[in-house]
Each structure stands twice: as structure tokens, then as C-alpha cells.
Amino acid sequence: MAYQEQKTTGYGTRVGNSFKAIGSGLIMFCIGTALLWWNEGRTVKTEKMLEEVGGSYVEMENPNKKDASLDGELICASALATTEDSLSDAQFGVGAKAIALHRRVEYYQWVENSEEKSEDKLGGKEVTTTTYTYSKKWVSTPVESSEFKDPAYQNKNTVLTTVEEADQYAENVKFGAYKLNEALIHRISSSEGLDLAISEDMLKQFDKNAQVAYERFYGTKKNATQAVEQPAETAVLSDSAKAVADSLKAVNDSIIKNAVNKKDFEYVHQAGNVLYFGRVPGSPEVGDVRVTFEKVVPAKVTVMAVVDGDSFKPYKAKNGKRFQTLVMGKKSGDEIIEADKEANNMWLWVLRVVGVMLVIGGLKGIFGFLETLLKVVPFLANIFGWGVGVVCTILGLAWSLIVIAIAWLFYRPILGISLLVIAGFLTWVFAFKGKDKLKELAAKAKK
């Protein structure tokens, strides 16, 4: 059964909080305005930089041979990224000759979910009901269950071990006859599982430590097939969600069952590139830990950067923006530039939407006290609040268009003037046509 908490807030407190919200609303409004302004400038500068890059780069035909004439030139070239560096994970005694090693960690934990529902009462009070439900999930960090609201779930989490995530990168990665810099190395994404070769002694020590942690928490040693008593989960899965979960479990079981280099102890299991701390990998218990190891292997990549001796450095455009990139596979310079332009345009609209929402949210925070003052009669407050929301939305959109237009005036005057005209039209419609509509409705009401 779900756990619920109710909180009642008096009318005076709500009014006081609404006046305090004016300050945070003003801050949100200013942040939204600044974001809109910055975003327009960022977009134009990035676009101009990409246009400059598109007209400045040269194709490096044979990166396997150094060409002194290309030193200082912005080039586009494809070659195999390789390394002779050997990387090792000392904590687990594994390693490989690789461009990078990645260690990822997951913990099986109870997770608290909450849902709030507020109800206005006559006289201005507000009753907020918070419903807490709990479910078990794989998460990236341990969950502190002592802070759960439901006492039945408090202190129900543990971990058999704690492991930090880690990334290691080779220092010497060759790109034909050249060497990749650190930023370019980090962009290589040809990951595959790292076959583990953890020593028997280390696995036995891990198993012993995990057993101690398991028995300390559960209090007694259990058979692998014996279910661990836990509070019943309140989250109910739909049929489709159950089907997906069952499918994922089947795939996970199949991977573990068929994995090579498999070693099983009572509390530790090694299979393929996964080290599992727990009794039964296919049926996780709270406290189980899953560590996945990956390596980045040599792969064909395409680089766009300035040749700097036997390495590369970023290209600096006339407007100060810097550019260097590495993409997987063989790509032409035009394909890379086009993809970056599309990404730049996508971010333009994403940040525009965020900025507009911040501006509208800020205005609602500033004028929200007007609705709160009427909360003594919830019905009237809801109607008035709807009107405030509409007004704030219209004013927020108009203000956002004005900010965007003024920002673009510095770069593209024609588009900026067009946006100002649209914003002026919206303001006129709201200020004058809206007033006429209200007079018309008032006249009809008198009849």
C-alpha cells in the first residue's frame, strides 16, 4: 500500500510565500532573458565559424605520411586511430592494449518515488497530499534509504561493495603518421566489452568480503534459491512494462549463461566483461552490484583540426570561436560541417524554448501573489489564475520575441526587424483588441 503524507498550509503563510516568490520569479525572468540573448549570439557566431571552416579546410589525402606543407592548415582526414599503450585497472587487476578503459557501476536499490496533489480549501488553506511508492531499480549510485518517508522502507538498502566508476585514456594515440591530442582521443567511441582475467585469489577475497556484507545486512546466510524477505513493492507494472522487463531479464540471463571466461563463486560471478556481486545474477537482490568493463579499440575515424607539427590543435575562427572535431568512420568535410550546422540549429531551438519557458515562469512567479490573495474563494482564484497565466504567457512570448529580435539586429537586421514587427502586433492585439473584447462581453452581460 502506498504511503501518504498530508500537509496543510494556512492562508497567511501562502500569501507570505507568494510575495517571497516575487524575488525568485524576477531572477528566473532575468535568467531567461539573458539565456535568450546569449543563445542568439552563440548561434550566429557558431554558424559563421562553421561557414569559415567550410571554406578553409583542405583534404589530407594521405595522413599516413607527414606533409610539412600542411603544417598550420585546417585539414580533414580519415585514418585508423591506434595505440600501443597498455592500460590497466589496478583495483581489479585487468587491462588491455586500448585507447581507453571504462569502468561502469550499477547498484540494485530500493528507490523512492513521490507524487504531489494539492487542493485548495475554502478560507485560503491548501492541503497537499504526497504519495510515496517504492520500487527496486539498477541505479548509478547507492540510495540512502534512511531518509525514505515510509518507515517500512527505511534502512532497507545496502550494498555488498562500493566501487567508483573510472575512465582511463591512452596518452599516445596515433592517427596515421600523426598523434591525436587529448580532446580528440576522448571523442573516440569504438567501445567493446573487456574480457576479464581477474585472479582467483582476488575473486575469492571479493567473495569473502561480499559474504560478510550480505550476512551483516540480512542477518543469516540464505540459499541462492531462497527469496529474501522485503516489503512488497507498491509500484504496479503495466502488461507492456512487464513484457519489456521479462525480455530484458531473459537477455541478461542469456548473456551471463553463454558468456565466455565465466567464473562463479557464491557471492561473486564473473562473466564476459561483467563482474557481479550478489547471490544470483538473474534474480538480483537489494545490495547487488554490477560492474561492467569496456575498452575502446582501434577504429577508423575522421579528424578536422589544424596540423600542429606531428599533432593537431583547434582552428581559431575570426570571431574567436574554436573548432576541432573527431567523428567515427570515414566522412567528408562537408558532411561534418553539415552535421554540426544541424546540431547548432537544434540547440538554437532547444535553448529558445527553455528561455521562453523561464521568462513565462518568471512572470507567473512575479504576479502569482494576485491569484493567492483570492484563494479564500478557490473557484474565483482558479478563474483569475487562469487569466494571469494567459496574460503572462502572451507577455512572455512578446518579451522573448523582442529580446530575440534585438539580439539578431546586431547580426541580421532584416530578420530582427521582422521579429520586432510580430512582437509589436501581439502586444497591440493584447492591449487594444483585448480591451475591446472585454467591453463587448461587459455589454452583453448587462443585457
Please answer whether residues 222 and 283 qualify as being in contact, where contact means their C-beta atoms are separated by less than 8 angstroms: no
CA distances from 245 to 64, 70, 241 (A): 48, 55, 6
Ramachandran assignment for 79, one of left (phi > 0), alpha (psi -120 to 50 degrees), beta (any other)? beta
Mean pLDDT of 110-131: 88
pLDDT band at 263 (very low <50, low <70, confident <90, very high): confident
Residue 343, pLDDT > 80, answer: yes
Q: What is the mean pLDDT of residues 168-189?
A: 96
**Is the Cα dihedral 428, 407, 362, 393 positive or negative?**
positive
Q: Are strands 325-328 and 3-9 parallel, antiparallel or unpaired?
A: unpaired
Please say whether the beta carbons of 326 and 149 come within 8 A. Answer: no
Confidence of residue 402 (pLDDT cuts 50, 70, 90): confident
How does pLDDT run across 9-59, given as a tens digit for each residue? Answer: 787 787 888 888 889 999 999 999 999 999 999 999 999 999 999 999 999
Q: Cα-Cα-Cα-Cα dihedral of 150, 154, 156, 158, to 10°?
A: 140
What mean pLDDT do residues 314-342 have?
A: 95
In sequence order, the β-bridge partners of residue 314 are none
Which of the given ranges, 50-64, 225-239, 253-267, has the highest pLDDT on average? 50-64
Q: Grid coordinates 544541424 are at which residue? A: 342
What's the predicted TM-score (pTM) here? 0.79
Residue 300 has pLDDT above 50, yes or no: yes
pLDDT score at 314: 97
List pLDDT tens digits, range 102-117. Answer: 999 999 999 999 999 9
32 with 362: CB under 8 angstroms? yes
Nearest to 271, CA basis, from 280, 261, 281: 261
Say if CB 150 and CB 134 are below 8 A apart: yes
When the pLDDT of each residue in the chain is averaged and rounded to a whole number, the result is: 86
Q: Which residue has the higher pLDDT, 445 or 103?
A: 103
The mean pLDDT value for 329-340 works out to 96
Q: Tell me the pLDDT tens digit for each residue of 61-118.
A: 999 999 999 999 999 999 999 999 999 999 999 999 999 999 999 999 999 999 999 8
Per-residue pLDDT for 347 more than 80?
yes
Residue 247 belongs to what H/E stretch? helix 239-258
